[in-house]
Structure 1
Amino acid sequence: MSEKMQELSLLSGSEFVELYKVLKVQGMVNGGGEAKHVISEGLVTVNGDVDTRKRKKCVVGDVIEFNGATIKITLAE
């Protein structure tokens, strides 16, 4: 489990963010290529399940875990 859950807020009008972009934007990896690699290796979970789809559409309420960090997708207010 992670020490603290971080949040990634979707901008108004956005319905989803692709999984590899979550890792990249949150600085959990050095770039998109590395994000896609760790996802395809089965090192990332979405809502507690391993997901190997690099372009998986993450929506509000989804919880992504990788390398001890946890990100929750929220809606910007």
Structure 2
Amino acid sequence: MQDDFIKLSQFLKLNDLVQSGGEAKHLIQTGHVLVNDEIELRRGRKLYAGDRVTFSGKTYQVKQPST
């Protein structure tokens, strides 16, 4: 991650929560993913360190990128 953010669909893929971008898109657009305890329908949502992503009953914290 070269920027200080990561897109929601990329986060799901990088953390092996989905198998493909298409799967991420479907799950996000059908309301199965929460960001900071709110349903997020935008797969391009920018996530920053400290944001929380909840998917399939588990919550994952976005970490500061390593330099």
Structure 1 and Structure 2 fold alike (TM over 0.5):
yes
Write the letter of the residue equivalent to 2:61: K
2:16 matched to which residue of 1? 27
Distance in 2 (alpha carbons) for counterparts of 1:64 and 1:50: 10
Q: Confirm whether residue 64 of structure 1 aligns to residue 53 of structure 2.
A: yes
**Residue by residue, what CA displacement relative to the aligned partner does 1:46-66 show, whole Å, maximum 9, x if unpaired?**
000001001000011100010
- 1:14 positional shift: 1.9
Q: TM-score, normalised by structure 2?
A: 0.89
Map of 2:44 onto structure 1: 55
Partner of residue 6, structure 1: none
State the 4+ residue runs in structure 1 displaced beyond 3 angstroms.
Answer: none
Correspondence for 1:16 = 5
Alignment coverage as a number of residue pairs: 66
Q: Whose relative contact order is higher, 1 or 2, with alpha carbons under 8 Å and at least 6 apart?
A: 1
Counterpart amino acid of residue 10 in structure 2:
K
Structure 2 distance, partners of 1:71, 1:49, is 14
State how far apart, in whole Å, the 2-side matches of 1:21 and 1:68 are: 19
CA distance in 2, matches of 1:57, 1:44: 14
**Root-mean-square deviation (CA), in Å?**
1.3
Structure 1 SS opposite 2:63: strand
Task: Name stretches of at least 5 consecutive residues in structure 2 with no aligned partner.
Answer: none
Q: What TM-score, normalized to structure 1?
A: 0.78
